[in-house]
Amino acid sequence: MAHKAMVAKITEVIEIPGADKIHVAKVLGENVVVSKDWGVGFVGILFPVDVQLSHEMAHHNNLYRESSQNADTQRTGFFEGSRRVRAQPFLKVKSEGFFTDFNALAFTGVNLIDLKIGDSFDELNGVKLCQKYFNEKTLALKDAKPKAKKLNTTPFFDKHVDSEQFKHYAHMIRPGSLLSFHAKVHGTSARMAHTKVAIQLKPWQEFVNRFVPVFPTEKWDYVVGTRNVVINDGSKTGFHGSEQFRFDVLDMVKPYLEKGMSIYGEIAGYANGTPIMSKHNVAALKDKAFTKKYGKDDMVYNYGCKEHEFRFHIYRITYLNHEGQNIDFTQAQIDKWCHDRGLLGPLEVHPQMVYNGDVRTLQDLVSDLTERPELLTEDYIDPSHVSEGIIVRVDNGKMTPQFYKSKSYAFRVMEGLCQAEDVEDAS
């Protein structure tokens, strides 16, 4: 599960030249640096990249770099006050998560014997262990205005399904599934629909309707939303400033939105004259080759857009049937629908394939498509910046496809603003 700890075992170990006490372990497809006391078959707990450990977890396990925050003030760890799990280099090898043994959970009072491979959780015995990491700007916006609970006026305007980490779930993909591979666009999620919207009646109208249903209770309308929130007014301010740019995207696709249709996509480039996504510091990679290729300036994810321009990639389309269910378009239908209307669909980075069950070959393919080492992780759309990674779409007979994300190592390090020199000192 996303942003949760997972019980998993080490499937492979790789030696680190010159390191006497640590080596690289493969856990759920991730490289993590662990003690040499833990070898192949060892079962422990993986905290994936971009989760935030709880204070209790860090405190009781002496994980803070600042010893005064630890239960044992004579011991120091390697986590800063943010407690964010980062993708980062240890002695010039990649570490993509935090892996620890069951004893780290003993402070919760849980019966450790009950834990089994495949379990995932963010708390045990009512004790919080981790959550999704939010930066200070996001937290400030979330806390700025306590929001009152609102009635759901758009019951058929579904959120996009969560994308899990490919590395963690590759082994669960069923043979015979149809796999599609697309570039992951680093932008802001957007959804829009021509759907049924509930009409808020006055109390007296509701009273009359109990006896004679004369007042309509729903209508067809166009709606806009972020991944989680429905936006009613483009003049309102969100994370990117004025939300009007989202309504500009709606105007672009509105002529093609039939009744019952919802589309999901990513807006990249600029909004309100500034880059939609935060800039990244190439220096965080501590790699001269990357600095030479991409320059010393902060990396801007503009995807070829000029200031005040944006691009919208549609990656999912659904249609509301007469039973109130949203039915997904196939990937071929999405590609044709977008092509026929001059809109941008997902960028295919590898031909579709029927999965034969060879998980190792699939993992190697996804790794190559994600990292593109021969091009230093160059983006598929705009070579001036690195690629965030790819998305693997899985169609296996279910009503809704599954989506798995595979983020590039370079992107994850820069996204976490890893300070390599601090990590090396701590190791």
The average pLDDT across 244-263 equals 96
**Angle at alpha carbon of residue 371, lines to 365 and 376, rounded to 5°:** 140
How does DSSP classify residue 21?
Answer: S
The average pLDDT across 270-296 equals 92
Confidence of residue 96 (pLDDT cuts 50, 70, 90): confident
Pairing of strands 127-128, 326-328: unpaired
Pairing of strands 22-27, 30-35: antiparallel
CA–chain centroid gap for 312, Å, is 18
Distance CA 187, CA 301 (A): 8
Residue 426 clears pLDDT 60, i.e. is over it: no
The average pLDDT across 138-146 equals 55
The average pLDDT across 229-254 equals 87
The average pLDDT across 380-396 equals 97
Q: Please give the full DSSP string across 241-304, using - where no structure is assigned.
A: EETHHHHHHHHHHGGG--TTEEEEEEEEEEETTEESS--B-GGGG--HHHHHHH-SSPB---TT
Q: Do residues 30 and 97 touch, judged by C-beta distance below 8 A? A: yes
The average pLDDT across 285-312 equals 94
The average pLDDT across 369-394 equals 97
61-64 CB contacts, 8 Å cutoff, 24+ apart: 61/100, 61/104, 61/107
The average pLDDT across 3-21 equals 92
**Angle at alpha carbon of residue 150, lines to 146 and 151, rounded to 5°:** 170
The average pLDDT across 292-311 equals 94
Distances 394 to 17, 351, 400 between C-alpha atoms, Å: 39, 13, 9
Residue 402 identity:
Q
Residue 145 clears pLDDT 60, i.e. is over it: no
Distances 166 to 1, 24, 173, 178, 365 between C-alpha atoms, Å: 11, 20, 10, 15, 12
Q: Which has more confidence, 1 or 114?
A: 114
Distance CA 77, CA 92 (A): 19
pLDDT tens for 173-197 read 999 999 999 999 999 999 999 999 9
Residue 41 clears pLDDT 90, i.e. is over it: yes
Pairing of strands 178-183, 389-395: antiparallel
Looking up tokens 């300070």 gives 419
Q: Do residues 264 and 315 touch, judged by C-beta distance below 8 A? A: yes
Residue 224 clears pLDDT 90, i.e. is over it: yes
Exposure on the CB side of residue 266, measured as CA atoms within 13 A: 20
Ranges 143-152, 349-358, 360-369: which has the least confidence: 143-152
Q: Which has more confidence, 302 or 420?
A: 302
Query: 273, 295, 271: which is closest to 283 by C-alpha?
Result: 295
The average pLDDT across 375-381 equals 97
How does DSSP classify residue 337?
Answer: H
Domain ranges of the chain: 5-133, 144-415
pLDDT tens for 321-345 read 888 889 999 999 999 999 999 999 9
In CATH terms, the superfamily for domain 144-415 is DNA ligase/mRNA capping enzyme (3.30.470.30)
Q: Which two tokens stand for residue 312?
A: 């919208």
Q: Which has more confidence, 348 or 200?
A: 348
Q: Is 194 helix (H, G, I), strand (E, B) or coil?
A: strand
Residue 427 clears pLDDT 50, i.e. is over it: no
Distance CA 281, CA 413 (A): 10
Residue 141 clears pLDDT 70, i.e. is over it: no
Q: Which has more confidence, 147 or 34?
A: 34
Q: Do residues 355 and 177 touch, judged by C-beta distance below 8 A? A: yes
The average pLDDT across 206-227 equals 93
The CATH code belonging to domain 5-133 is: 2.40.50
Q: Please give the full DSSP string across 47-116, using - where no structure is assigned.
A: EETTEEE-HHHHHHTT-BSSGGGSSSTT---SB-TT-B---EEETTEEE-EEEE-GGGGGGGT--GGG--
Query: 304, 298, 302, 294: which is closest to 277 by C-alpha?
Result: 302
Q: Do residues 85 and 97 touch, judged by C-beta distance below 8 A? A: yes
Confidence of residue 315 (pLDDT cuts 50, 70, 90): very high
Confidence of residue 140 (pLDDT cuts 50, 70, 90): low
pLDDT at 234: 64
